[in-house]
Amino acid sequence: MEVRIQSIHFDASEQLQNFINKKVSKLEKFYEDIKKVEVSLKVVKPETAANKEAGLKITVPSGELYANKVCDTFEEAIDQCAEALEKQLVKYKEKLRNK
């Protein structure tokens, strides 16, 4: 599984990148055949409390799954994206089984 992290208009710290890699690798428990994960991180203007936006796009053999969240911290946003994608992966896997 290939993980690509794109931080827009800032440099993501190594600690944040490690956190993202750890979270994303857990998604493989829900579906083994994930080809690629693209993570985009962005600070939303104007600077308010909840201004950290994270988007996760997962590429699977027959399509893509996507989650996008805006929170106080990137870690929180990544957490929520991962949870949303876990649910999507479970649904996707069930659809494949029913075919």
Report the DSSP beta bridge partners of residue 3.
37
CB 78 within 8 A of CB 86: no
Whole-number Å distance between alpha carbons of 48 and 92: 35
- pLDDT tens digits, residue range 4-54? 999 998 898 999 999 999 999 999 999 889 999 999 999 988 777 789 999
Show the domains of the chain with their CATH numbers: 2-98 (3.30.160.100)
Give yes or no for residue 98 having a pLDDT over 90.
no
Tell me, yes or no, if the pTM score tops 0.85.
yes
Cis bond upstream, residue 61 (ω within 30): no
- CA distances in angstroms from 30 to 7, 9, 34, 36, 42, listed in the order given: 26, 32, 10, 15, 27
Measured in residues, the chain has a length of 99
